[in-house]
Amino acid sequence: MQFPAPVPVKWISELIHASLYGNPDGLATGINEIHKVREGDLVFVDHPKYYDTCLQSAATFIIINKKTEVPEGKTLLVVDQPFEAYASIVRHFRPFEPAGKMISDSSVIGKNTVVMPGVFIGNHVQIGEDCIIHPNVSIYDHSIIGNRVEIHSGTVIGSDAFYLNSKKDREVWYKKMPSCGYVRIEDDVEIGANCTIDRGVSDATVIGQGTRLDNLVHLGHEVVTGKNCLLAAQVGIAGGTTLGDGVTLWGQVGVNKTITIGDQAVVMGQAGITSSIEGNKTYWGTPIQEFFQKRKELVMIKRLPEIWEQIKILSSREPPKTS
């Protein structure tokens, strides 16, 4: 999330009651989680395992629970509970806004766009021209929808990310990281019925131009699809994953978090994608393999009884006599 204007880091340190080390005169331009940080951003870290990753990231301002050496060009904000400090900053700049009506007065809807009965459009939503939003669609705050987009009944755009801070030394083990990101749907996209598209934790979930989603598709926080992707029913993609252009995922494909699927990859139904895969190939299975290799293996498995019978016949024959 980018702040409306750069914010003095001294002011932020006062807001979260932090001790400041490094440059005290810096200006923070936004707040992000570690996978999306850019120069000028705030980020938090509360586990030694991730200290180095965070300190060496692009983030300029780091909320941390231990005083350590300050890398050049960085500023540390030391607090006991970095997660709580991060959450308080998010709530300050992106507070919850209750809806007063089904279509918010702060939303912007382009010409020739049809909004059917029962649609909810939240605060600060932007919808382009020539769109069709079918009954009972819910579009949460700050979502951005391009031109000529069609969204079918029951779909939810911009629900909170399933992104949790886990600590088993407190009464509530899992605390939700507040979502201050958004969803951006580009031009000429069609989204089927009863799909769920989560907003980013701190950045954008993006559906690329010309992409088609079947019914019952789920995209996690900060998933980015390229242009002209095809996602069949019951595909589920975990947060932070990137699809290249022209990717096809057939029914019930499950995709792991923070991986990359190359351009024009095709994945057959019910496959499980656990790590990044190259483009311009066809895949199948769990764990996933190239389709034609997997098919050869299945053919051999089907032949195993026949092969076993041949082995038994050969082993039962008497060995040839030697003179």
Residue 292 clears pLDDT 80, i.e. is over it:
no
**Range name among 241-250, 259-268, 305-314 with the lowest pLDDT average:** 305-314
- The answer to whether 195 touches 217, Cβ cutoff 8 Å, is yes
pLDDT at 321: 67
**Range name among 45-59, 62-76, 103-117, 291-305 with the lowest pLDDT average:** 291-305
What is the rounded distance in angstroms from the CA atom of residue 101 to the CA atom of residue 122?
A: 9
- The answer to whether 159 touches 181, Cβ cutoff 8 Å, is no
List 134, 142, 152, 221, catalytic entry: 221
Question: To the nearest whole percent, how much of the chain has pLDDT over 70?
Answer: 98
> Where does 2-93 sit in CATH, by number?
3.40.1390.10
Locate 247 and state its tokens: 């990717």
What is the rounded distance in angstroms from the CA atom of residue 145 to the CA atom of residue 158?
A: 11
Residue range(s) occupied by CATH 2.160.10.10 in the chain: 108-289
What mean pLDDT, rounded, does the chain reach?
A: 93
Residue range(s) occupied by CATH 3.40.1390.10 in the chain: 2-93
- Partners of 2 in beta bridges: 30
- In our burial notation (b when 16+ CB lie closer than 10 A, e otherwise), range 179-216 reads bbbbbbbbbbbbbbbbbbbbbbbbbbbbbbbbbbbbbb
What is the rounded distance in angstroms from the CA atom of residue 288 to the CA atom of residue 274?
A: 7
User: Would residue 152 show up in a list of annotated catalytic residues for this protein?
Assistant: no
Q: Would you say domain 108-289 falls under CATH 2.60.120.10?
A: no
pLDDT at 291: 77
* 320 — pLDDT class (breaks 50, 70, 90): low
* 36 — pLDDT class (breaks 50, 70, 90): confident
Number of Cβ atoms within 10 Å of the Cβ of 77: 26
Residue 62 clears pLDDT 80, i.e. is over it:
yes
- The answer to whether 207 touches 225, Cβ cutoff 8 Å, is yes
Instruction: Say which residues have a Cβ less than 8 Å from residue 2's Cβ, sequence separation at least 6.
Output: 29, 30
- The whole-model pTM stands at 0.88
